[in-house]
Structure 1
Amino acid sequence: THARGGAGPHAAGAGAPRVRVDFRPGTPDLSLFPRSAWSAAQRAVLARLPHPSLGYPDPRGLPELREALAALLTRRRGVVADPERLVVCSGVAQASTLLGFVLRARGHGAIGVEDPGSPEHGRLFSSTGLDTLWLPLDGEGLRPEPLAASGVRAVVVTPSHQFPSGISWSAERRAALLAWARAVDGHVLEDDYDGDFRYDRAPVGALQGLDPERVVYAGSVSKSLAPGLRLGWMLVPGELLAEVVERKRTMDLGNPVLDQAVLAEFVTRGAYDRQLRRCQRAYRERRDGLLAALAEHLPGTEVSGIAAGLHVIARVPGRYGPTERFLARAAAAGVVLRPLEEYGTARPGDGDVRLVIGYAHLAPSVVAAGIRAVAAAVGRG
C-alpha cells in the first residue's frame, strides 16, 4: 500500500529547518477573506433576522440559504439544484461522512475512491464503517474495467479537476461512470472541491447535471472564502434524502443559523461572485508566476493540471533527483513539497520527480523565492 498524504519524512519537526515556503496543496489565501463585505452582511442579517429563526433549524439548512445556493450552483456549475434536496453541512468532509453512514446502513461494505486521490477519503469513510477501494485512473478518468470488477456500488470522484492529477474527465468516461451507476443501482459522490476556479478554459459542468438521481453533489466555501467557516452543501438524490437528513439531524441538529443567514445574504447581494472574481485574478497571477519560476530555475520541468484549481503537477527531470534526495535538499533549504506518490501513485521507473505544488496561499514573490531556493538546493542536475 502507498502512504496517502501522511506528514512524510520531510515535514518540519523537532530539529528540522525553519519552513520558509510551504507548497503543500489544499489551502487558499486566507488574507483574501472579504472581512468588510462579510461584516456588512452580518450587520444586515442581525438587523432583520426574526426571533423564531434563532430556534432549532431545519436539519437541511436555512431555507433562504438553500434557495440562494441552489440558484448559484445552477448558474455557475450546471447542476440540477432543487432547494428541497439541498442539505447545508460542514464542508465536503461532513457530506462524505453523512453519505458514508447512509450507505453503511444500506448494507454497503466499501466505497471506491480515485487512485491517485485525496488521502482524506480513506479516513472519513473508515469512520463510518466503510472500507475504501482505490481504483486506478488514466488520462481520461476512472478506468471502467477495474471499477466494474471491484464490486463496489458507490464511488467518490473529482471529475471537473481531478485531485491531484489535474485532469478533467472526458465526456466518454463521465457517461461510462453514470451507466455503471445505473447498472449496479449505485451512487456517485461528486466532490467539486475547486469547481469555481478556471483560468484558460470554460468551466466544466458538474457531473450531477447529467444524472441527479445517481450523483450526490458536494461543495463548500473552503477554497473560495475560508475553510474555517465550515460551510458546505450537498445535493442529494430523492431516494437518499430522508436518510441523509435524518443522519444530519442526529449528528448535530443542523449548522449554525447566523452563519447560514450571513452566507445567504452574501450570495444574494452578489458579494460571493465578486469574491470569486477577486480570487480568480489573484490565483491566476500566482499560477503564472509559478510556471515562469519553474521554467527559469528548473528547466525541463513539465507542468500539467494548470488550466484550473489551486495546484499543479510538476514533473521535474530525473537529473535533479532522485525523489528522496530532491525532497530532503528542498526541506533543508526550508521548502516543503509533496511528492505525487503520497497520493497513491506508485513512482514510475523513469526516475523523474513528480510533485504536487500548491500555490494559491502564497504571494507571487514567495512562490518565486521558493522555487529559486529549491533550484539552488538541488543544483542543475
Structure 2
Amino acid sequence: MRNPFVVGREIKYGEPFCDRASEIKWLIDRAKSSESVCLVSLRRYGKTSLLNQVMGKLNEEGWVTLKIDLMNVHSIEDFCFFIGQEIRKFQSIKNKIFSAIKHIKPSITIGVDPLTSLPSFGVGLNSSVSKKEAILREILNTCLKLPKLLSKPVLLVFDELQQVRKIAPKGEIEAVMRAVFEKRDYDFVPFYLGSRRSILKFMFQKESEPFFKSATVREIKELPRESYIEFVQNEFKKSLSIVSSEEILHTTWKLFQGHPYAVAKVANRLWFCYLENLPKNKKEEEEIWLEIITEIIKEEATFYEAVNKNIFPYVMIVFRKIAEEGVVEKPYKEDFLKKIGMTAARVQKALGTLKKEDKIEHDKEGIHVLDPLERLWLLTSRMDEEQIKTELTKMLKEN
C-alpha cells in the first residue's frame, strides 16, 4: 500500500495534495490573464509542489508548461544550457531552435551546497565571455516563439530564481530577461519561484532593479489548520479505514505552526506506524506520536546546525533569545539588552545579519523567527530527549 503523504520530494500532479485551492485558482487566473507572478516562500514550504498542481491543470486545458530549476546553475552558461535543454525537447520544432543552442558545449561543475554541506553539481557550457549575453538573449527570444511554433499558450517557470543574483550580482541576467520578456505576446507567461525572501523582494520591489514591478509578488504561508486536519483524516480513512485523532493533528499543527514539510512528515510517519501496528487505545496513539515528534526534532537539529554553522556566536545568542521571547517588540530597550548582555549597536548588527539571512521578520507586532521549524530547533536544542517528551506531553494535554 502506498503512503499518501509525500515527503522528501515534489508532489506530482494527481497525487494527494493538501488544499491550497485558493492559491491554485489565483495562479491559474494570473497565467490566463498573462500576468507574471513571483511566488516566494521559505524552503520546504511546498511552492514547487504547488506549481506542479497549477501546471498539471493548465496542461489539461491545452497549455505547454516548462520548468527550469536554477538550484544547480552556477553561471550564465549554465543558465543558457538548461533553458536550451528544456525547449529542445520539442521534436517538432527542434530544427527551428537548434540555431539558438548550437553554440553550447556542456561542461560539469562540482561543488558543495553551503546549506546542507552535501555535494552539488551543475552542467554548463564553454563559450567566450562576449557571447554569453548574446546567447542568453537568443535563447530567451526563442522561448517567446514557442506559443506560435507549438500553437499553444506557454507557461515558463523559473524555480529558485534568486540563484541568478548569485551568478550576476549586478542584475545582468535580470536585465536581459526583462528586455526580452517585455516583448512577449499574451500567450507566453513567465512565472518565478524562490526561497530567499530578502533577495527576491529586493529584485522585484526596488525601483532601481531590472525586475522592478515586472511580476506580482505573492508569499506562500503556512497550511491552514482546518485544511490540514481534514486532509489527513480523509487520507487515513481512504487508505487505512481509520479516523486519526483530531487532538493529535491539532497539536502537530500548533507545534510546527502549519509548516507544510513538518506536518506532512508527521502524517507520513503516523500512517506508516498505523499500517504496521494500529494503536489499541488513546495512550498508545499518544506514545507513537511522541516518538515520531522527538525523532523529527532530532533529525531537524542536524539540518539547522549545518545551515547555521557559519553564523557568529553573538548573532546566534540574539537569534535564540528572539525564539524564546516569541516576539520582541523593542530589541534596543534596556531590559532586552540586559537579558543578552549586549550593547544596542551589537544587537543592531546581529539583527542585520539575521534579516539578511531570512532568519527573522519585523512586522507590526515586532521581531520574530521566520521559520517555525527553526524556532522549534532553537527552543529544544539544549534539551535532552526526556525533557522534549515532557514538554510535548504538556502541549498535548493543553489541547
TM-score normalised over the length of structure 1: 0.28
Query: Higher Cα Rg: structure 1 or 2?
Result: 2
- Pick the structure with more helix per residue: 2
The one of the two structures with greater contact order (alpha-carbon pairs below 8 A, sep at least 6) is 1
TM-score normalised over the length of structure 2: 0.27
